[in-house]
Amino acid sequence: MAIQDLHTTHIGGHAFRWGERTYIMGVINMTPDSFSGDGLGDDVDAAVQRALAMQADGADMIDIGGESTRPPGVVYGEGAKPVPAEEELRRVLPVIRRLAKVLKIPISIDTYKAEVARLAIPAGASLINDVWGLKRDPTLARVAAELGTPIVLTHNQAGYAYHDLIAEVVTGLQDSVEIAVTAGVPAEHIIVDPGIGFGKQAEHNLEILRHMDELKRALGYPVLLGTSHKSFIGLVLGDLPTHERVEGTASTVAVAIMKGVDIVRVHDVKQMVRVARMTDAIVRGWLRPSS
C-alpha cells in the first residue's frame, strides 16, 4: 500500500496527519531500572506531573511503560529482567487511569504483552507500542484488532548478526505488519519503528539513521523513531552519561526528520519540540505567524 493511502491515523480522538509535521511522543517510565535513569517506580503523582509538563511543552502523546527495555552489554551490564504481566499492570494502570482524566493528548502503552494491552486500553490508553513487533506475543495483534487500537511495530532481535542490515530490518518489519494485518489490524492503524538500540550496535544504529529515507520508502508506513539518550549517542560522543546526551539526541532527531520520520519518542520534550519545529520549517516549509 502506498504511503499516500495511509495519510491519517486516528489515535485517541486525535487525527495524526502524516507528512504535515513531526509528532512528539514523551516518555514516562514506571520502572525502577530504566536505562535513562528516569524511572519513576511507584510514584504515580510524579508521573502525572511529568506527563502534564510534557503536554505543556508540546508533546503530542505520552508513552507509559512498566518494563525496562535496557539492553545487555558493556554500558548496562546484563540488561533488564522480564517483568510478569501482573507486575507490569500494577505499575502502569494507576498512571493510565489518572492521566486519562487530565491529559488532552493520547496515551500510549509500551508493552509487548496482550494481557497488559487488553486492560490498559479500557483504562485510557489509545495506542500500543510493541518493542518486539508482535514476535514475542502475536496474540497482541488480535487485541489491537478487536479494540480498534493503532499499534507501533518495532524491529527487534536477539543478537547483532546481520548480512544486510537495512534489507533485514525492512523484511523483519514486513513480517510484523503481516502478522498484524492477518489478525485484522487495518493498514491505517500500523506505525513502524526500525528499533534503534534493539538488537543493534552503534554502527547499526548510525547506518539506519543514514538510510532512514530508503527504509521508509520500502515499508510504506508512518515511522516512529526512538533514539533519545541511547547508548550509541554516548559512545559516539566519548562515553557521555545519559543526562548529557541531549545535544546528541537533537542531532539524531533533526537528521531523522530530514529523512522522513513521522514521530520521535523522546525524554527531553521541550528541547526536542523546538528541534522538530525548526527542522520541519526547513524540510516542509514555514508559514510566518500573522501579526
Q: Give the CATH number of the domain where residue 255 resides.
A: 3.20.20.20
Residue 50: predicted pLDDT = 95
Classify residue 5: in a domain, yes or no. no
Catalytic residue among 21, 230, 245, 259: 230
Query: Which DSSP helix (H) or strand (E) runs through 17?
Result: strand 14-17
**217 labelled catalytic:** no
Classify residue 290: in a domain, yes or no. no
Classify residue 10: in a domain, yes or no. no
**265 labelled catalytic:** yes
Residue 249: predicted pLDDT = 98
Query: Which DSSP helix (H) or strand (E) runs through 214?
Result: helix 212-219
Classify residue 62: in a domain, yes or no. yes
**Length of the chain, please?**
291
Among candidates 264, 206, 275, 234, which has minimal Cα distance to 35?
Answer: 234
DSSP annotation of 211 reads T
Classify residue 28: in a domain, yes or no. yes
Residue 80: predicted pLDDT = 58
Please tell me the pTM assigned to this model.
Answer: 0.92
Residues of the chain predicted below pLDDT 70: 1-6, 33-41, 70-80, 291
Residue 251: predicted pLDDT = 98
Classify residue 12: in a domain, yes or no. no
Residue 35: predicted pLDDT = 45
Q: Give me the chain's average pLDDT, please.
A: 92
Classify residue 1: in a domain, yes or no. no
Print the domain residue range for 113.
22-282
Q: How far is CA 155 from the centre of its chain?
A: 11
Residue 6: predicted pLDDT = 60
Catalytic residue among 265, 270, 277, 288: 265
Classify residue 13: in a domain, yes or no. no
The rounded distance, in Å, linking the Cα atoms of 59 and 53 is 9
C-alpha cell at 227: 533514539
Question: How many domains is the chain built from?
Answer: 1
Residue 290: predicted pLDDT = 76
